[in-house]
Structure formats: structure tokens, C-alpha cells
Structure 1
Amino acid sequence: MEIEKINIAIVDDHTLFRQGLVKLLSESNEVNVLFDADNGADMINKLCNHPLPEVILMDITMPVMDGYESTKWLKDNHPDINVLALSMFEEDKPIIGMLKSGAGGYMLKQSKAGDLISAIKGIAHQSFFINELVSGKLLRNIQNNQPVKSQSIGLSANELKFLELCCSDYTYKQIADMMNLSPHTIDNYREALFQKFDVKSRTGLVISALKNELIKL
């Protein structure tokens, strides 16, 4: 029986990387590359001339129209298209920005082809792709569509405020100043929330907060 391929598009301004990814993924029997584009504006033009993809692999830093703006445009105009962000570095700020813009997950550009295809399949089927920054506990909640509400995990008002500020560009030191708390207290909040959500990073906290609708952005 022939496997139904997942239709995707690739948006990245680095021509060699983009073309290499197109060639690599085109060899897969699970993915069909509909088109590639070098920025968001080019993507919008090509969406008019091709079938809509199920997943778009989205670079973050691009000229003309970057990944944040492009993802927001997609969520406003084609909300059924899932966005998987592509990042060079595993840093909180760009990843959080893409999640807030509407991306359902992210992958590092240096990932193996098999891992990328697994991520494409995951986000196509579940709308979210969670990597190693988020453990199995949160993943099971997502798969079972069982959001964890703040009262069930015992979040205090300060913990909720801290969680909200984590979804911003502020540093932990700035968050401490805004909440009139010591950096040590903020560290305690962070570690407590890591344990409550069973995650290991600020990005994991943000994914938890967004998925479980604990904050409003």
C-alpha cells in the first residue's frame, strides 16, 4: 500500500541550505515538497500558485519578511497550516518568539534527516512537535488533549506572574526587578516550575504555558 505523503514547503533565505533540504526531503517516501521560498513575501506569492502544504518549515531570520511575521500571517490567513521553526541555535528568545507567533514546534538545522522527518510527521498529525526540552509528562498531556490547569498543579499568583513574564524577552534579573523580588527567589520559582511541569528549560515552561492556556498573550 502506497504511503500518503505529507505536503510541505520550505522557507529559508540561505539558498544552498534550502535547496539541499529540498533534495534531501524529496528522496523521502513520506514527504512531498510542494515549493520552496526565500522569505515570507515569496512564500505568500507561491501559496497562490500551489496546493496548500500541511507543514511549512520556517527559517527565523530572513530579509523582507522574517519567520515571526510570516508565521503570524499564516495563522491569520491559513490557520490549518502547521509551522515548524528551523533554528541554528538552541536559544530561548527566538524559539519563544516563534511559538508566540504561532509555530507548533522547532528543530535545529543541524538535526539528522530522520529526526526532521519525524518532526514533520508529528506536527502534521498533532499540530505540536515537542523535542527533548519537554519530557514525556507534558507530551502525554498534549497527545491526550488534557491541559493541566493551574489549580490542579497548585500555581501561586506569583508563579503565574513569573510564568507570564517568562514568555517575554526579559531576563531573569529584569523579571526579578519587575516583581520586586530577589534573583534568588526568582531562581526558586523557576526551579519549582521546572519540577511542576517536568521540563528542563525556559522554552519548556513557555510551551507548557501556551499549550495549557495558563497565560494570555
Structure 2
Amino acid sequence: MINEVIHIAIIDDHTLFRQGLVHLLSESGEIQVVFDASDGADMIKKIASHNPLPQVILMDITMPVMDGHASTLWLRKHYPDIKILALSMSDKETSIMEMLRSGAMGYLLKESKVSEVITAIKTINNQGFYINEYVSGKILNTLQKNDIIEEKGKKLSANELRFLELCSSELTYKEIADRMNVSPHTIDNYRESLFEKFQVRSRTGLVVYAIKNSLIKI
């Protein structure tokens, strides 16, 4: 039985890495690189003139002109059948989650072995997604953190949430008390309670934590 040759494209702004990966993947006999591009804008110029289209695109995240997030969103809109495998140096949970939310169906670190990249390409082409143990662990950790944050948000009273919102303004604590029609002592209680819940020790810390975890919007 002859294995299917999978057509791919590689989008990465590091020329040596991109060209080296083209060579290594092409050597496998299972992968054909139909084109490569230095960023999303370059990809858009090239993709329209290629037949066949790539079945899978290996997408870097940090690129000039048009990065991996924007490129992935563009592909999801204009070429929804093309599957996207993020290939990045970043192992941050935020990077992984943002690419998956943008529409990537898999995520690999650039330090991965070529054999795993080939496995990921074949898996994502046949099954529609590829998540290894490392990335699944990162996703699980993020979900658990979000559950904790959501639980903390649920435990906040309406007055505590209002206090947090007003903390992000230039109002003094006395002015916040007047705005909320409570005593300065009550405001002190809100502040100390939130210091304890969020494990911070300053007004700035309260606001940064609240914004980062979507408890308030500014």
C-alpha cells in the first residue's frame, strides 16, 4: 500500500529554520512542501497561486507584518479546510491557548524531533487535531486555573466587585466610600478581604489581578 503524500506549507520568519525544515520533511517521502512563506502577508500572496493547496500548514506565532494568530484567523475564514499546526518556541500556556482559540488544531515546540513533526502532520491531516502529552498538560493546567479564578469570582460579593472596578479609577479610598455610600471602615474591610483572597498587598496588585483574570473590565 502506497502512503499518501501530504501537501503542506511552512510559515516562519526564520529563513534558516524554515529552509532546514523544508529539507528534512521532504526527505521523509511522506510530506511535500508546496510553498513556504516568511509571514502571514507573504502566505496570502502565495497561497492563491498554488494548486494543490496545502492540506496542513505549519504556523509560527511571532512574525513581522502578520503574526501567527492573525494568519490562523485569516485561514479559518478563507480556507477552512486547511488544518493548522502551530510550531513555536514558546511553551507558555497563553501562547498555546491563544493559537488553539484562533483555530489551530495542534501545537508543537520547535525543539520537537522531526519524527514527531511528521507524526503530528499525519495525525492532524487524518484526524483533524494533534495534541501531545506536554500540550495537553498545559491545557489542563490552564483549565484548572480558570476554574479556580471562576470560583474566586463567584465568591466575591457585588459590593466587592464594585469596589474592584472603582479601584481601577483615580478615586481615593474616601471617594470610593462616598461613591458606594458606605463608610471608609467598610472600604477598609473590602480591601483587606481582597488582599487575602488574591494574595496581593497593594491597590495596584488588586487591579492587575482583577483585570488579568477578567473580574473587571476597564
TM-score by length of 1: 0.64
Name 2:168's counterpart in structure 1: none
47 and 164 in structure 1: CA distance in 2 versus 1, 3 angstrom threshold: farther
Q: What residue is the counterpart of 1:91 in the other structure?
A: 92
Match of 1:119 in 2: 120
- Structure whose CA Rg is larger: 2
Q: Deviations over 1:148-205 (max 9, x none)?
A: xxxxxxxxxxxxxx959839xxxx7x76664446469xxxxxxxxxxxxxxxxxxxxx
Q: Which residue of 2 aligns with 1:10?
A: 10
Gaps of 5+ in 2: 157-196, 200-218
- The structure whose RCO (Cα within 8 Å, separation 6+) is larger is 1
Offset of 1:83 from its aligned partner? 0.3
One-letter amino acid matched to 2:67: D
- Structure 1: stretches of 5+ with no match in the other structure: 139-161, 185-217
Residue in structure 1 matched with residue 179 of structure 2 by the alignment = none
Deviations 1:91-145 (A, max 9, x none): 101110000000001011010010100000010011110101338xx9xxxxxxx
Q: 1:60 to 1:183 in 2, by over 3 A?
A: same
Instruction: Supply the distance in 1 between the matched residues of 2:110 and 2:143 (Cα, whole angstroms).
Output: 28
Counterpart amino acid of 2:146? C
Cα distance in 2, alignment partners of residues 164 and 77 from structure 1: 34
What residue in structure 2 maps to residue 188 of structure 1?
A: none
Q: 1:3, 1:29 within 8 Å by CA — same for their partners in 2?
A: no
d(CA) in 2 for partners of 1:37, 1:2: 29
The 5-angstrom pairing of residues 18-167 of structure 1 reads 18-51=18-51, 52-133=53-134, 134=136, 163=143, 166=146
TM-score by length of 2: 0.64
What amino acid is the match of 1:61?
Answer: T
Change in CA separation of 1:177 and 1:85 when aligned onto 2, cut-off 3 Å: same
Say what the alpha-carbon RMSD is for the aligned residues: 2.7
Q: 1:44 to 1:166 in 2, by over 3 A?
A: farther
Partner letter of residue 76 of structure 1? K
Higher helix share: 2
Q: Aligned in 2, Cα 1:44/1:165: closer, same or farther, shift over 3 Å? A: farther
Percent of pairs with identical residues: 56
Aligned-partner SS, 2:33: strand
- The alpha carbon displacement at 1:89 in A equals 2.6
Seen in structure 2, the aligned counterparts of structure 1 residues 90 and 49 have a Cα distance that, compared at 3 Å, is same
